[in-house]
């Protein structure tokens, strides 16, 4: 098979996939009797045309970066961790316990403590499926998805029966103390010149970007990353090289779960400032799409997370300002995932053919 030039592989394929997804989405909007042009205008207007919109887009993107990186790290070890949702919820539990039950003098220290708590709880939730995979051969896809359900039930139990303050009706913890409040973009000197009104995007955004760099360094610059990638490419070869499969599966899944858990500092500590039910609200699953679209590379993940942040925020705007129901957001996301993930090969093959055609033309002309 002839190959695509690199720029087409990295940029053109996702672009064509997205255009196709947008076209089908437009057809769906026409089918429900609305104006797709209007819809796009509202989406763009509400998410990237002003600082307020960006404040939400970047907030969502932050969450997706964490979960996308979580999927990416596991993917390089040949493990498909689709338990990011559960791991992020447990991360939320970790954040809540750290913020509620430990005294914090300053938000920086609280952030450090909460990050540890979030990563630890997320990692712990990934540890059991990892152990089952490494020692018993139970497939990680099955176990991680089962653990999402267990996490959901566990969180309901924790919120309703354990952490709910007496006298309150809603299943949520008490508000975190003010010392644990993380600065939002509108409270950060310099940034507050742009973000003048209150937005949910907060300092966690920079932690997410830092994590992308850390993941890149880990995978491509350290011995551990080398072993993870080697193991992911070929387990028999890894065994030949003396790479311990159990060790790699465990460590990789702990890192992956930890990254998914870290998401909680963004939404639980940075935004809600208390732990609510269904705290991850689907970001764990979107992380899979983000990793797929980002080709399992941290740079790609950051870009894909921004795109999904835009879709998430723009979709919410649709529900607010048009007669298009907010559920259409799910349709659009589904189409993006379908085209960038599942139908990626279709677009790729199509483009490969077109490129091959041009190449022979050029040869004939020469």
- Considering only residues 243, 316, 343, 351, which one is a binding residue for another protein as defined by CB under 8 A? 243
If the CB atoms of residues 43 and 73 are measured against another protein, the closer one turns out to be 73
Question: Closest distance between another protein and the C-beta of residue 214, in Å?
Answer: 11
Distance CA 173, CA 3 (A): 54
State residue 276 phi and psi, 5-degree precision.
-110, 170
Copy the structure tokens of residue 270: 């940075």
If the CB atoms of residues 234 and 330 are measured against another protein, the closer one turns out to be 234
Distance CA 7, CA 169 (A): 55
If the CB atoms of residues 33 and 137 are measured against another protein, the closer one turns out to be 137
Q: How far apart are the first and last CA of the chain?
A: 23
| CA 343 to centroid of chain Cα atoms | 20
Distances (CA, A) of 358 to 10, 131, 348, 365: 19, 51, 15, 10
Question: Closest distance between another protein and the C-beta of residue 223, in Å?
Answer: 5
What is the x/- site pattern for another protein, positions 179-218, by CB under 8 A? Answer: --------------------------------------x-
Three-class secondary structure of residue 172 per DSSP: strand
If the CB atoms of residues 131 and 226 are measured against another protein, the closer one turns out to be 226
Question: Closest distance between another protein and the C-beta of residue 230, in Å?
Answer: 6
Question: Closest distance between another protein and the C-beta of residue 358, in Å?
Answer: 13
Three-class secondary structure of residue 282 per DSSP: coil
If the CB atoms of residues 206 and 220 are measured against another protein, the closer one turns out to be 220
Question: Closest distance between another protein and the C-beta of residue 356, in Å?
Answer: 8
Q: Among residue numbers 1 through 40, which ones bind another protein (CB under 8 A)?
A: 2
Task: Tell me if 135 contacts another protein by CB under 8 A.
Answer: no
Question: Closest distance between another protein and the C-beta of residue 298, in Å?
Answer: 16
State residue 146 phi and psi, 5-degree precision.
-65, -35
Distance CA 304, CA 206 (A): 16
Which span sits near another protein by CB under 8 A: 97-105, 138-146, 165-173, 222-230?
222-230
Per DSSP, 275 falls in state -
Question: Closest distance between another protein and the C-beta of residue 251, in Å?
Answer: 15
Distance CA 348, CA 276 (A): 42
Kindly tell me the burial class for residue 135, based on how many C-beta atoms sit within 10 Å of its own C-beta (0-12, 13-18, 19 or more).
exposed
Q: Among residue numbers 223 through 242, which ones bind another protein (CB under 8 A)?
A: 223, 226-227, 229-230, 233-234, 236-237, 239-242
What is the radius of gyration, based on Cα positions, of the chain? 22
- Residue numbers at the binding site for another protein (CB under 8 A): 2, 217, 221-223, 226-227, 229-230, 233-234, 236-237, 239-244, 356, 360, 363
């Amino acid at each position: 098979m002839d190959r695509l030039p690199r720029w087409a592989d990295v940029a053109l394929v996702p672009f064509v996939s997205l255009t196709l997804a947008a076209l089908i989405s437009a057809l769906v909007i026409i089918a429900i009797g609305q104006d797709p042009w209007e819809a796009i205008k509202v989406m763009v207007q509400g998410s990237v045309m002003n600082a307020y919109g960006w404040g939400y887009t970047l907030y969502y993107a932050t969450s997706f970066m964490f979960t996308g990186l979580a999927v990416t790290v596991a993917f390089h070890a040949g493990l498909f961790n689709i338990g990011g949702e559960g791991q992020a919820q447990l991360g939320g539990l970790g954040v809540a316990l750290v913020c509620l039950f430990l005294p914090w003098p300053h938000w920086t220290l609280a952030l450090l403590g909460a990050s540890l708590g979030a990563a630890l709880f997320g990692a712990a939730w990934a540890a059991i499926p990892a152990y089952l995979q490494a020692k018993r051969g139970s497939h990680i896809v099955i176990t991680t998805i089962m653990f999402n359900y267990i996490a959901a039930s566990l969180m309901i139990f924790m919120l309703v029966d354990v952490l709910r303050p007496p006298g309150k009706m809603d299943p949520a913890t008490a508000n975190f103390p003010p010392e644990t409040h993380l600065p939002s973009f509108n409270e950060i000197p310099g940034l507050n010149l742009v973000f003048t009104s209150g937005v949910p995007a907060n300092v966690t955004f920079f932690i997410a970007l830092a994590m992308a760099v850390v993941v890149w360094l880990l995978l491509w610059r350290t011995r551990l990353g080398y072993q993870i990638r080697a193991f992911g490419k070929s387990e028999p070869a890894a065994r030949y090289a003396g790479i311990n499969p159990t060790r790699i599966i465990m460590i990789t899944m702990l890192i992956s779960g930890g990254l998914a858990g870290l998401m909680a500092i963004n939404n639980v500590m940075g935004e809600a400032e208390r732990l609510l039910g269904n705290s991850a609200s689907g970001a764990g699953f979107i992380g899979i799409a983000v990793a797929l679209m980002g080709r399992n590379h941290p740079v790609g993940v950051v870009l894909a997370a921004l795109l999904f942040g835009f879709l998430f925020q723009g979709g919410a705007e649709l529900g607010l300002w048009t007669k298009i129901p907010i559920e259409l957001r799910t349709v659009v996301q589904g189409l993006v995932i379908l085209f960038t993930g599942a139908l990626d090969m279709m677009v790729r093959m199509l483009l490969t053919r077109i490129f091959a055609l041009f190449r022979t033309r050029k040869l004939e002309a020469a």
